[in-house]
């Protein structure tokens, strides 16, 4: 249970708030590369409570600038992409990716007015089919080049949905392995059996029969990039990869989760205090020895949150998670929650947030901010029961990791 002040402190992300300042030390996805093309060269985006316009200019360069033209405030998302930036629809002023006004075609020849006109702009970079933005202080850290964003000979796909809730309740879920047994296997199965024909349930059953089994204990470890969560399922020994390897939560707002031949990131991007852009990014390995087909564009789908009755969709695993987060309310009221032993991971995570808030308040650099280009290249993340390129066995380079007890653990029996 938190006080109202503590709940506000760790959930609110606008400029000038403690959590907003911490969040601004990280690169965040704001669009799929496929979002911007010749037909749709701009996108209105909102990140950490700030409205921006993302565009791709005629040379293919990305820019992200404040939405209102400095002249008479027309929205630049209606602008025309040009060689040197985006041209406002109303009177033709042009802005480049630094926000600098570089053309005012109807001001007198020789006028230097434009040199004085500059809009807010943030750096953007593209990697693995995602466009990322950094809104924090300079110098900007490196965009983390995680393993799966770089792998070739894989098949990628993406999907997303905008959730009417705060980002932190999405993360709480990832620090709470036991929800899998209930939200997915029990409740999810109840829904799936009512709504899907038996022959359409295979994927769902496969997903829930693995980690949805009865939990004996859960464990958590802090590591360089965040927290690793582990679970011991009934009928297994501690040598099993679910317990020995687990999978990571990347501070502050990313889940890495994998199974068999696929790896994924779930980015819980704070749009503002009460909205989250949930981006699912999946990478599939081809069968051993096979070549994945070449992808010109990574397929990208917008998922629907609600069904035709206005109720939350609940027949696939990610939708069940999203339903849980949304049904906790716009900002989960943690002043009246009742945490049990299953929630020790959440408590560990909240302590980690508080600690990192303090580091930023003291002028330091929080965890999982990257500045060493060599170390940043292809950072490998450990996930249990998953294949890695170049390895025949599940767990890949981590398969022989020795069994060590977790830093914290809780028993369910």
> Would you tell me which residues interact with other proteins (CB under 8 A)?
172, 176, 178-179, 181-183, 186-187, 190, 194, 215, 311-312, 314, 320, 323-324, 327-329, 332-334, 336-343, 411-413
CB of 197 to other proteins, least distance (A): 16
Closer CB to other proteins, residue 134 or residue 167? 167
Estimate the crossing angle of helix 167-174 against helix 4-11, to 10 degrees: 90
Please state, in angstroms and rounded to a whole number, the distance separating the CA atoms of residues 43 and 28.
Answer: 16
Closer CB to other proteins, residue 1 or residue 380? 1
CB of 110 to other proteins, least distance (A): 56
Closer CB to other proteins, residue 183 or residue 232? 183
Please state, in angstroms and rounded to a whole number, the distance separating the CA atoms of residues 266 and 352.
Answer: 20
CB of 236 to other proteins, least distance (A): 17
CB of 410 to other proteins, least distance (A): 8
Taking CA 240 as the corner, what is the angle to CA 288 and CA 406, rounded to the nearest 5 degrees?
A: 125
Please state, in angstroms and rounded to a whole number, the distance separating the CA atoms of residues 13 and 21.
Answer: 7
Please state, in angstroms and rounded to a whole number, the distance separating the CA atoms of residues 40 and 260.
Answer: 36
CB of 336 to other proteins, least distance (A): 7
Strand bridging mode 408-411 / 215-223: antiparallel
Closer CB to other proteins, residue 75 or residue 189? 189
Please state, in angstroms and rounded to a whole number, the distance separating the CA atoms of residues 293 and 233.
Answer: 36
Closer CB to other proteins, residue 96 or residue 343? 343
Closer CB to other proteins, residue 193 or residue 358? 193
* Paired tokens of 171: 């993360």
CB of 55 to other proteins, least distance (A): 37
CB of 328 to other proteins, least distance (A): 5
Closer CB to other proteins, residue 156 or residue 350? 350
3-state secondary structure at position 18: helix
Instruction: Kindly report the backbone phi and psi dihedral angles of residue 274, in degrees, each rounded to the nearest multiple of 5, phi listed first.
Output: -125, 15
Helix H or strand E segment including 157: strand 155-163
Closer CB to other proteins, residue 8 or residue 103? 8
Please state, in angstroms and rounded to a whole number, the distance separating the CA atoms of residues 175 and 262.
Answer: 21
Nearest to 266, CA basis, from 163, 154, 373, 143 = 163
Measured in whole angstroms, the distance separating CA 40 from the mean position of its chain's CA atoms is: 23
Contact 155, 293 (CB under 8 A): yes
Neighbouring CB atoms inside 10 A of 380's CB total: 12
Closer CB to other proteins, residue 15 or residue 329? 329
CB of 2 to other proteins, least distance (A): 12
Please state, in angstroms and rounded to a whole number, the distance separating the CA atoms of residues 102 and 224.
Answer: 43
CB of 179 to other proteins, least distance (A): 6
């Amino acid at each position: 249970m938190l006080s109202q002040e503590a709940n506000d402190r760790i959930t609110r992300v606008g400029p000038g708030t403690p959590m907003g300042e911490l969040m601004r030390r990280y690169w965040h996805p704001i669009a799929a590369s496929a979002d911007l093309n010749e037909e749709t060269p701009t996108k209105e985006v909102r990140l950490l409570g700030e409205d921006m316009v993302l565009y791709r200019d005629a040379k293919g360069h990305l820019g992200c600038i404040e939405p209102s033209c400095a002249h008479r405030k027309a929205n630049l998302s209606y602008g025309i992409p040009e060689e040197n930036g985006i041209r406002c629809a109303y009177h033709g002023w042009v802005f480049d990716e630094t926000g600098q006004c570089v053309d005012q075609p109807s001001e007198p020849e020789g006028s230097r007015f434009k040199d004085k006109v500059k809009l807010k702009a943030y750096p953007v970079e593209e990697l693995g089919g995602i466009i990322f933005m950094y809104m924090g202080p300079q110098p900007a850290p490196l965009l983390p080049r995680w393993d799966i964003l770089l792998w070739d000979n894989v098949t990628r796909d993406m999907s997303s949905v905008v959730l009417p809730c705060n980002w932190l309740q999405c993360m709480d879920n990832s620090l709470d392995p036991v929800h899998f047994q209930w939200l997915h296997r029990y409740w999810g199965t109840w829904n799936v059996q009512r709504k899907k024909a038996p022959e359409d349930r295979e994927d769902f059953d496969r997903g829930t029969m693995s980690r949805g089994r009865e939990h004996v204990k859960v464990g958590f470890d802090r590591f360089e990039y965040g927290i690793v969560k582990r679970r011991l399922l009934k009928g297994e020994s501690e040598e099993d990869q679910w317990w020995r390897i687990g999978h990571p939560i990347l501070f502050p707002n990313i889940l890495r989760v994998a199974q068999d031949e696929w790896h994924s990131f779930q980015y819980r991007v704070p749009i503002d205090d009460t909205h989250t852009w949930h981006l699912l990014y999946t990478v599939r390995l081809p069968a051993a020895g096979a070549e994945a087909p070449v992808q010109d564009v990574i397929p990208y789908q917008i998922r629907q949150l609600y069904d035709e009755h206005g109720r939350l969709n609940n027949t696939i695993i990610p939708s069940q998670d999203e339903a849980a987060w949304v049904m906790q309310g716009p900002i989960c009221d943690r002043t009246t929650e009742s945490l049990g032993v299953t929630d020790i991971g959440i408590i560990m995570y909240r302590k980690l947030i508080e600690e990192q808030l303090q580091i930023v308040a003291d002028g330091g650099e929080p965890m999982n901010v990257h500045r060493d280009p060599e170390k940043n290249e292809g950072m490998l993340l450990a996930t249990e029961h998953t294949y890695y390129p170049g390895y025949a066995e599940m767990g890949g380079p981590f398969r022989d990791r020795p069994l060590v007890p977790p830093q914290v653990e809780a028993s369910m029996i």
